Amino acid sequence: MPSPSPFVVHNVQFHAILGQGPTMELLAENATYPFAHEAGVFIPSQNELFITSNRIEKPDGQRVQITRVDLNNASSTGLATCEEITVPIPMANGGINYKDGIIICAQGTMNEPSGLYHMSTTSPYSTTVLKTDFYGRPFNSVNDVVVHSDGTIWFTDPIYGFEQGYRPPPRLPNQVYRFNPADGSIRAIADGFGRPNGICFSPDEKVVYVTDTDWMHGDGTTDDTRVSSIYAFDVVHYHDQPFLTNRRLFAMADNTIPDGIKCDLDGNVYSGCGDGVNVWNPGGELLGRILVEGGVANFCFGRDGELFILNENRLWRAKLNGNVKGALLGL
């Protein structure tokens, strides 16, 4: 019998996203540790990805590995070549394209601060610290990040690092922040979350989506009565400053949590969930799923309908309709 399709349609609108012949292919696999967990930053000029691993337990503590994925060359284990790189970014997590490199979220350690780091995408991968505190109070464990077209950097800061044993007790609430590197100013822009996680803008930047992964705490406990949802906010301006208003429940993930989140240019919302990548239209209707056994923490768009899917020990590429383009790069 043929294998069941990984593409599940809940709404006929999903057919326009899938196209005539969607495919899934394994790009790389590593059985020794979960190398493909977070970030997922596509570098078009180099046809490469930068990804971060899940936590790796070592005798001297926990660590995270950053990997450069060369999509131009196959290897003995897949259609891409993976290179582990060493940079001083403590417990790296989410990432985003930024100027001539990328921003990586550092969750921090007991002795190294959490915050935002800029990293070059070419060897020797030089790094610069952008921000590690809110007016002197250290961030908890910065998780995910997005950049607005005005140059400001928006990011989430849950307390997972403390719960997982590699950060000191929190000194800030579970919040979302807006950092302006032009003048160094920073604002708490949204609160009221259990565990704020993924963040992205709609294509016109009039809406911000934030995933709340409170269903799963850092100590491994889960609770079906805690939220596993995506919230939407309108971006409005008062006194020439942005504010988030009209907070509303956009969607709830029915399988574990919605983690990383992205939009395509049509405003559809994609999120990595416990059963793969779930896709909603801008009205919050579930259109369909790309099923991946073991679930998906994060992913990113490539070119012309490519979706690079991080599945812990495996990295996949889904090929959707060539007209599908990620809102971040518009490719």
Summarize the confidence of residues 80-99 as an average pLDDT: 97
Q: Does residue 297 sit within a domain?
A: yes
Answer yes or no: are the C-beta atoms of 264 and 291 closer than 8 Å.
Answer: no
Q: Does residue 325 sit within a domain?
A: no
Q: Does residue 81 sit within a domain?
A: yes
Q: Does residue 328 sit within a domain?
A: no
pLDDT of residue 191: 98
pLDDT of residue 1: 45
Percent of the chain scoring above 70 in pLDDT = 98
Q: Does residue 2 sit within a domain?
A: no
- Print the domain residue range for 264: 7-319
Q: Does residue 136 sit within a domain?
A: yes
Q: Which stretch of 59-63, 186-190, 305-309 has the lowest confidence by average pLDDT? A: 59-63
Residues 6+ apart with CB under 8 A from 39: 50, 51, 52, 66, 92, 93, 94, 95, 102, 104, 298, 310
Task: List, for residues 23-65, the tens digit of each pLDDT value.
Answer: 999 999 999 999 999 999 999 999 999 999 999 998 888 999 9
| pTM for the whole structure | 0.97
Answer yes or no: are the C-beta atoms of 105 and 116 closer than 8 Å.
Answer: yes
Summarize the confidence of residues 111-130 as an average pLDDT: 97
The enclosing domain of 310 has a CATH number of 2.120.10.30
Q: Does residue 1 sit within a domain?
A: no
- From the number of C-beta atoms within 10 Å of its C-beta (0-12, 13-18, 19+), residue 285 rates as middle
Q: Which residues of 131-148 are buried (b: 16+ CB within 10 A; e: fewer)?
A: bbebeeebbbbbbbbbbe
Summarize the confidence of residues 264-272 as an average pLDDT: 98
Arithmetic mean of pLDDT over the chain: 96
**Which sign, positive or negative, has the C-alpha torsion 61, 69, 261, 106?**
positive
Give residue 3's pLDDT band: very low, low, confident or very high (50, 70, 90): low
Answer yes or no: are the C-beta atoms of 216 and 180 closer than 8 Å.
Answer: no
Task: List, for residues 99-109, the tens digit of each pLDDT value.
Answer: 999 999 999 99
Task: List, for residues 194-230, the tens digit of each pLDDT value.
Answer: 999 999 999 999 999 999 999 999 999 999 999 999 9
Q: Does residue 146 sit within a domain?
A: yes
How many CB atoms sit inside 10 A of residue 238's CB? Answer: 8
The Cα 314–Cα 33 span in angstroms is: 10
Is the confidence at residue 2, as pLDDT, over 80? no
Is the confidence at residue 126, as pLDDT, over 60? yes
Is the confidence at residue 231, as pLDDT, over 50? yes
Is the confidence at residue 76, as pLDDT, over 70? no
Number of domains in the chain: 1
